[in-house]
Every structure is written in structure tokens, then in C-alpha cells.
Chains A and B, each alone.
Chain A
Amino acid sequence: MSLTFEPNIESPDDFYELLTDAQRDLSDEDANDMNARLVLILANQVGSLADLKMAIEAAK
């Protein structure tokens, strides 16, 4: 298993601002659509089906 739950995000506050600012002017529906795309992009980066399964379980 390579999925990590330990802190790994570079500059957490910078990341969080980037993420929320990207949706600041979006409607709820547009933000949800963007989140779906974002999940798929990041899932591709993770790659491993076992890791993705683990992530899905953790997020449930």
C-alpha cells in the first residue's frame, strides 16, 4: 500500500486557498462538477486500484 494518510501536502495553507479560491465564484452545481473532474485527475495520479479503493473507503 502506498496511499498515505500522513501529512504530505506541500504548504497546506497555500493549497487550501488555491482550492477554495478556484470555486469562490461558482454555483454549487458548477463546484460539484469541478470536484468530480478533480477527483478523476487526482485518481489518475494515484493509479493503483488498491489505493483508490482504500481512498474511497476512507472518504465514505
Chain B
Amino acid sequence: MLNTYDFPEFAYVQSEEQKTGNPVRHTVIVVGAGPVGLTAALDFAAQGLNVVVLDDNNTVSVGSRAVCYAKRPLEIWDRLGVGARMIDKGVGWKLGRVFLRDEEVYTFDLLPEDGHKIPAFINLQQYYLEEYMVEACEKSPHIDLRWKHKVVSLHQHDDHVELAVETPDGIFTMEAGWLLACDGANSDVRRMVGAEFTGQFFQDRFLIADIVMKADFPTERWFWFDPDFHRGQSALLHKQSDDVWRLDFQLGWDSDPEVEKRPENIIPRVKAMIGDDVEFELEWASVYQFACRRIDQFRHGRVLFAGDAAHQVSPFGARGANTGVQDIDNLSWKLAAVVKGDAPLALLDTYHGERAYAADDNLLNSTRSTDFITPKNGASKRFRNAVLSLAKTAPFARPLVNSGRLSTPTPYLDSPLNTPDDGEWNGKMRPGTCAADAPISVDGRPGWFLDLLTGGFALLALGVAAEPVDAGAFSPKLIALGTDFDDPDGLVSTRYDAGGGALYLIRPDQHVAARWRNFDAEAVKAAISRATAGAIR
């Protein structure tokens, strides 16, 4: 199959509970060992929860599938100890070019701001990402990965979920206090609980092909509307690691996926795109169609949903896996607090509130990109072509060109967990926003601001005298500028608008919960109470 990658085969092991036939009540079971399920396992383990992961297969993703990983998920993986390896192996990029026919009409630069540990975007084949996370899971005493375990039915009780699970040794019963479904867009678990999954289907098909070539194309995202080599459709070229390149061809609704998948039909398309004289090998290809849809509720009783199982988007904008990983970032501290009895169930319901809001934002962006790329009627196509033909000479048309709005975190601006601002603030760090990184130094050694924010709530004091606040299980770690870290470049102060002194309460998922200009212990406690759905009084 692939020339550049050897697929690991993970061992199936019959569990003790299947051997003995005595069900064990697990704290959390995750269904699906894809990027989102594996992230969940690592994050739950980081919260001190024991977790069992069930996957019906015994290897990583076949084919590169998800390719573009954005800054925020990489920051989450960095917090979980697997980010550096992904960034090392991945290909960084920031420039995108858009062509109409064979003419460049528009170039965008992601313009990553300096002074962040994590790059704006990397491209990496999904199988590497999964392999690295599986290795990290195997090292954790909290994580039990079980391959060739397929959930065949489930039954909800008041305080647990009962599962029938099929393995090569037959069917047995498992129990979980909580079940997290990360089993993808065609989620069996979602079907089993009878959840609604509605939205818009798009009548179009796309061919994706991974090829290996030593070519001097730059590491940029190239997107064509109506290219000369593939008239009337769109096409995309993007580099991954190991000299593997992702090609994407819009095919139209009338195409036959089985015919299009044949190498003898793919190879001429590739040659037309990259040139007859470039040598390449075809690694993997797939034909896909897509929908933009979301689950009705992210929690159904004791069953939770994350990633594609909860929301499916078009691939334009890299909003699939990137969003799913942020679901986990939001869920893990809340679930841990509820499991440990530190917070009420109401905290877990804010998982739906915040992540459904983010999913809707992703769906909106993804639907708009799809409408631009594949216009639905003559009028829409006329405007699309007008925008593209004006874009080359008229700068105003460029912001209207939509070949995918790339994934950025959706701030939870209306979340009930936020304490509204009192007074005037500048900059981006409004309550509900994920905390910006910045270079710092600790004891004279260079470091990164986000690395200070681990393991619970934090109270960040920038030029404000603050004292430790007792909020029980949610007592924040006090991090004071000048005591715990220094800000040699002044970027923490700038990004957090700390000129006149500032105090921030930051959630365990590194999102701003509240901010003040002065320290008041009672105000901090009230904000923690609010950010935990009333866990403390």
C-alpha cells in the first residue's frame, strides 16, 4: 500500500472482564481511537481519570485523511506532551495562493504573530498523529487501549451505561459511569441513543490523492478555481511530510466514485496538474462527498459526543479534527470535576452550550466556503466568477474570495461561565477567549506563557498585588508577574492589556473566565463559582 509509511498493528488482548464474565464499572469509556478519542484519553488521564478506549480496528488511520492542524489543537497537544513531536515531523506553512484558470488572483498570508511557541498551521498525515498519541497512551498508567472491540449495543441507566462489546472472542458486557463517543461522522453510538444529526448535504464529489514526489513546488496551499488542467471544477495542492503531497479534485455530482478511484483514471489527472515530466508515485486515494450537520445535544444522559460524531463539516478550512480536539479541551476538566463530585452536573451541560456554539460557527464558515467553491445555481456562480475576476485588480474583492476560512478557535463570548467585564479593556482577551501565548522567562531561562497554565484554574496577576484564594477543589494557582515569571519582551502585558495592572482568572482549558483591574478575593471566588456552574459557594 503506502510507500512511505509502515502501518503498526496493535495487539488484540482479551480483557479479564471478558474472560471471567464479570462486568467492571469503568469511570469513563471512550469509543473510537481516532485523533479526537486519543486526545480524550490523554486529557482524561491528565485530569487523573482512568479511561478505557475501545476501537473496532487495530491500526491507525489508513490514508492521510485529516492533514492540516491548527495552532490551538497543537497547543492542546503540547499541553498533553505530544505536540512537539507532531510539529517536528509536520510541515509548517503560512502562504496560500488562489488561482482562476492558470492565473494567480490572490495570495493570503496567515501572518502568524511573532512570540508564540506554536506555529499557525502544520500539515501532517493523520496516521503519524495517531501513532504518536497511541504511543503516549501506552505509556500512561491511566489509559487502557483495547483494539478490535466493537460496541454493538448500549443501554442507559441512571448512573451508568451498559455496553455489549464484540471482540474476536465473542460478545461481552461492559459498564461505564460515562461514555464518550468519538466514533466519527457515521457514529454507531449516536444511532444507538437515537440522537438527531441534521444539516445540509452537498451534491458534489471530490477525489483526494496522496502522491510522493520530489518536486520544487513551494510549501504553500495552492487552490485553483476552474483550472486549465481540470476545467469547470476546483483543485488543491498541499504538501505533507515525507515528500507526500495532497491533491484534491472536485469531480461533480455525476461522477462515479468507483471509476474515479482507479489509478488509471487518477494518474492522468495528476499529470495534468503537476506536469508530464514530474515523477511521482500514487500512495492513496479516496472519493468523498460531504455534509454540514450537527447533533441535537452533545450529552444524551450518560453518553457524551465529541468530534465528527457531534458535528460534521466540509473539509474546506480544516475545521474537522481541529474542532474535535477543542471539544475535548472543553470537556475534560468539566467531566473530571463532575466525576470527582466537585461540581454539579450543570457544569457538564455547559459543554454542550459552549461547543455547540463553536460547532455552529464552524458549520457556518464551512458552509459558506462550500457555497463559494461549489455554487448552487447560476446566479451564485455568476457572483463567484465576478469576485474572482475582480480580485486580481480590485483589492476589495479579495476578502470575498473564499477557498476555505481556516480554523481558528471560537471564543465563548456569551457563555454563562464568563464573568462580564467591568470597565474598559483593549485587546483580544475578553472573557470566553482562549489565552494568548507569549515569550516569558522563569528564573532567567526563556519559556512560554501557556506552559504556566496547567492543571487547574489560574489567577494571573500582572502588576496587581494578589493573594492566594481558597476555592476548595478549584483554588487557583497564583501566577504573578515579577515573582513567578518575567515578561522581557513586554508581550504578556501588551496582549493582556496590563498597562494599568490586570488580574485574570483563567480556566483549566486556558480560557479567560474573568478579569479585573484590582484584587478582591470575594470577586475572584464569585467568578470561580460562576465558572464552575456553582460548584463553590
Q: Which residues of B contact A (CB under 8 A)?
A: 365, 368, 371-372, 375-380, 382-383, 387, 390, 393-396, 398-400, 402, 405
Contact B396 A8 (CB under 8 A): yes
Distance A32 CA – B379 CA, assembled complex (angstroms): 8
Task: Enumerate chain A residues within 8 angstroms of B387, measured Cβ to Cβ.
Answer: 16
Task: Enumerate chain B residues within 8 angstroms of A28, measured Cβ to Cβ.
Answer: 378-379
A and B contact pairs by CB, cutoff 8 A, 16 listed:
A5-B393, A6-B395, A7-B396, A7-B399, A9-B396, A9-B400, A13-B368, A13-B405, A16-B402, A20-B375, A24-B377, A26-B379, A31-B378, A31-B382, A35-B379, A58-B394
Known: A5-B395, A13-B405. A24 touches B372 (CB 8 A): no
Apart from A7-B399, A8-B396: 17 A-B pairs, beta carbons within 8 A: A5-B393, A5-B394, A13-B365, A13-B402, A15-B400, A16-B383, A16-B400, A16-B402, A17-B371, A20-B375, A20-B380, A20-B383, A24-B376, A28-B378, A58-B393, A58-B394, A59-B390
Interface SS of chain B: helix, strand, loop or mixed?
helix
Known: A16-B372, A17-B368. A23 touches B380 (CB 8 A): yes
The answer to whether the Cβ of A2 comes within 8 Å of any Cβ in the partner chain is no
Task: Enumerate chain A residues within 8 angstroms of B394, measured Cβ to Cβ.
Answer: 5, 58
Distance A50 CA – B111 CA, assembled complex (angstroms): 37
Q: Return the CB mask of A1-39 against B: 1 if under 8 Å, else 0.
A: 000111111001101110110011010100110010000
Contact A20 B405 (CB under 8 A): no
Contact B379 A4 (CB under 8 A): no
Distance A3 CA – B353 CA, assembled complex (angstroms): 44
In this complex, the member of A12, A20, A23 whose beta carbon has the largest number of chain B beta carbons within 10 angstroms is A20
Contact A20 B371 (CB under 8 A): yes
Task: Enumerate chain B residues within 8 angstroms of A19, measured Cβ to Cβ.
Answer: 383
Task: Enumerate chain A residues within 8 angstroms of B378, measured Cβ to Cβ.
Answer: 28, 31
Q: Which residues of A contact B (CB under 8 A)?
A: 4-9, 12-13, 15-17, 19-20, 23-24, 26, 28, 31-32, 35, 58-59
Contact B399 A9 (CB under 8 A): yes
Known: A20-B383, A24-B376. A7 touches B395 (CB 8 A): yes
Q: How far is the CB of A5 from chain B (nearest CB, A)?
A: 4
Contact A23 B399 (CB under 8 A): no
Distance A23 CA – B378 CA, assembled complex (angstroms): 9
Task: Enumerate chain B residues within 8 angstroms of A26, measured Cβ to Cβ.
Answer: 377, 379
Distance A17 CA – B393 CA, assembled complex (angstroms): 23
Distance A19 CA – B400 CA, assembled complex (angstroms): 12
Contact B379 A20 (CB under 8 A): yes
Q: How far is the CB of B383 from chain A (nearest CB, A)?
A: 6
Contact of B398 among A7, A15, A16, A58 (CB under 8 A): A7
Task: Enumerate chain A residues within 8 angstroms of B390, measured Cβ to Cβ.
Answer: 58-59
Q: How far is the CB of B520 from chain A (nearest CB, A)?
A: 38
Contact of A23 among B377, B393, B400, B402 (CB under 8 A): B377
Task: Enumerate chain B residues within 8 angstroms of A15, measured Cβ to Cβ.
Answer: 400
Q: How far is the CB of B28 from chain A (nearest CB, A)?
A: 38
